[in-house]
Amino acid sequence: MFVRRVHSSIEANASAISRIRCGRIVTREGQLERIEQHWFANHVSVAQVWWQNQRNSLDGDVCQLDFHVPWGMKAFVTLDYIRTGNQARYATFIGACNVLNEVARLKNAYAIVAHVTNSNISDRFLKRAGWERHLEDWPGRHFIRRMQPSVRIADAFG
């Protein structure tokens, strides 16, 4: 992934973070390490996931969340990929999710959406974390976490 900029503080870089279209959030030991701004969205294949699990695992208590804002849908943030280290704790994962929520808030996003393919992530867990089922007539498990219910859907596109 080609990194454009790196931010280590949400408060100090709120304006720049609110303009990120594609990025990665990295937390380590429950704390924000950095938010990377990327040139392109990270589209992950099954082969890439297999390779990373077999040969290129992350070491330690670390979590990475890749996200992007789809073209023409500026009020939505898409959670693309979650990758954790071999000793990642729940606090580190939740910390990364909280940073993603803050990024979505800075962007005035209506919602964060995700297509969950890992069967180890239960619907019950996602519900407790504030996510709800979405697009149930589509194949797969699609979830949405609404950030600002007062935003009109018509304003979410554009």
pLDDT tens-digit map of 19-58: 888 899 999 988 898 898 887 666 665 555 555 555 656 7
Which band of pLDDT confidence, cut at 50, 70 and 90, is reported for residue 14? confident
Mean pLDDT score, 94-122: 83
Asked if the model's pLDDT at residue 64 lies above 60, the reply is yes
Asked if the model's pLDDT at residue 158 lies above 50, the reply is no
d(CA 70, CA 107): 13
Beta bridge partners of 25: 35, 65
Q: Which two tokens stand for residue 67?
A: 């996200």
Q: What pLDDT does residue 3 have?
A: 62
Q: At 158, is the secondary structure helix, strand, or coil? A: coil
Backbone angles phi, psi at 150, to 5 degrees: -75, -10
How far lies 45's CA from each of 9, 29, 132, 156, in Å?
Answer: 31, 28, 25, 28
Mean pLDDT score, 86-104: 85
Sheet holding 141-146, edge to edge: 3-7, 31-38, 22-28, 62-68, 76-84, 111-116, 141-146, 132-134
Name which of 63-72, 92-101, 147-156 the model is least confident about. 147-156
How far lies 129's CA from each of 61, 73, 100, 115, 124, in Å?
Answer: 21, 24, 13, 15, 9
